[in-house]
Structure 1
């Protein structure tokens, strides 16, 4: 499977109460051609990762409504698109939405660590779309086992092609979901809901970073 075929397979996924940012447009927030913008963002990052190689893949549970639903990139909100672009050499990543850039707490902490790490890390989710509560598209829910199994071939392709040194599961849910797919991973505490300090400390252990006091996460809320 080529990167283009991978993205087409991703865009073809359909589930109830799930938003596919590579095929669907949000009527409230997306700009013109938003799904195409997100597909292009992912294509640029994926091709750069395949060409240059990666150290690790960090895998969270599923896309969030403040981050990957809008950007098309896992664990990346609009405030950190430029940081993600710089991870692989200033890629021309673009916004797909209208209005002010949105910030996500998880993405903020993730990118604080990535800036210190300075290694090629690929970011992904066990379930690569945005699952939401029924009737509330701007909410987050945990994906189901059926959804996970239906999209597992995409994650397996990424791991096979990128050949990371290690998989890192962001949070207990991601670790359990990966185990269900037969994939072993190093687990770190999810940085949300009071987990920032443990997340930063565990990443420091995994990558040999010097210990430092955690930085406060500043968010601009809607």
Structure 2
């Protein structure tokens, strides 16, 4: 049985808050940046709510985007969905859950990949723990409001954090969402199934891949 205490989650977030994101990346949990305090609070609320639901599967994505986790502090979550505009997604989010959106970035409301992710999970009635192979926002040089593909070095640096979540939540199975996440898993010595990343028109194959894995009992 999963047993988590708030201190364990707090320790994980403190680990993120002191991590070096490296060049052309931004750590949305960096303790030296005042506005990041709200992102740490948001992430703590999300992880505590997930601990109550005892997920068996970790769905490992690529990296935060500037319209999603970079703003909210929660994997695959944009400002619009955070406050329950349209759905509260398994009762995790909504205007009464105590989340906040820092005001240090433009009020971008919509992250397409996040929308596909949560719509698909809702359709499949499947609630895994969500995280990224590289949990910091990789951006193009000189343009913080952009996204770039994480490097192999980024993927290696991110292993420490997703491995900590696997242990913390007693995760039984991991699904890689796209090639970046799959590479991170392989570099760590783990083998795991891979599904298509939902971005760039991959939403149908993403859902089909999850359906196949669920039919095979990965969440049982």
TM-score (norm 2): 0.81
Contact between 2:90 and 2:122, CA under 8 Å: does it hold in 1? no
Contact between 2:55 and 2:127, CA under 8 Å: does it hold in 1? yes
Going from structure 1 to structure 2, the CA distance change for 1:66 and 1:130 (only over 3 Å counts) comes to same
1:30-45 to structure 2, matched below 5 A, reads 34-45=35-46
Structure 1 position 47, deviation (Å): 2.1
Helix, strand or coil at the partner of 1:167: strand
In the alignment, structure 1 residue 86 sits paired with structure 2 residue 118:
no
Residue 49 of structure 1 is matched in structure 2 by 50
CA distance in 2, matches of 1:49, 1:186: 22
Structure 1 position 74, deviation (Å): 1.2
TM-score (norm 1): 0.81
Contact between 1:58 and 1:121, CA under 8 Å: does it hold in 2? yes
Residue 106 of structure 1 is matched in structure 2 by 113
Aligned residues: 203
Structure 1 position 135, deviation (Å): 0.8
Structure 1 position 36, deviation (Å): 1.2
Root-mean-square deviation (Å): 2.6
Helix, strand or coil at the partner of 1:86: coil
In the alignment, structure 1 residue 139 sits paired with structure 2 residue 146:
yes
Residue 171 of structure 2 is matched in structure 1 by 164
Going from structure 1 to structure 2, the CA distance change for 1:195 and 1:87 (only over 3 Å counts) comes to same
Structure 1 unaligned blocks of 5 or more = 27-32, 209-222
Contact between 1:55 and 1:119, CA under 8 Å: does it hold in 2? no
Structure 2 unaligned blocks of 5 or more = 1-6, 216-220
Residue 194 of structure 1 is matched in structure 2 by 201
Moved over 4 A (4+): 98-101
Structure 1 position 142, deviation (Å): 2.1
CA distance in 2, matches of 1:196, 1:121: 17
Residue 3 of structure 2 is matched in structure 1 by none
1:178-189 to structure 2, matched below 5 A, reads 178-189=185-196
Report which stretch shifted further, 54-63 or 199-208.
Answer: 199-208
Going from structure 1 to structure 2, the CA distance change for 1:192 and 1:52 (only over 3 Å counts) comes to closer
Structure 1 position 46, deviation (Å): 1.4
CA distance in 2, matches of 1:136, 1:39: 23
CA distance in 1, matches of 2:43, 2:107: 22
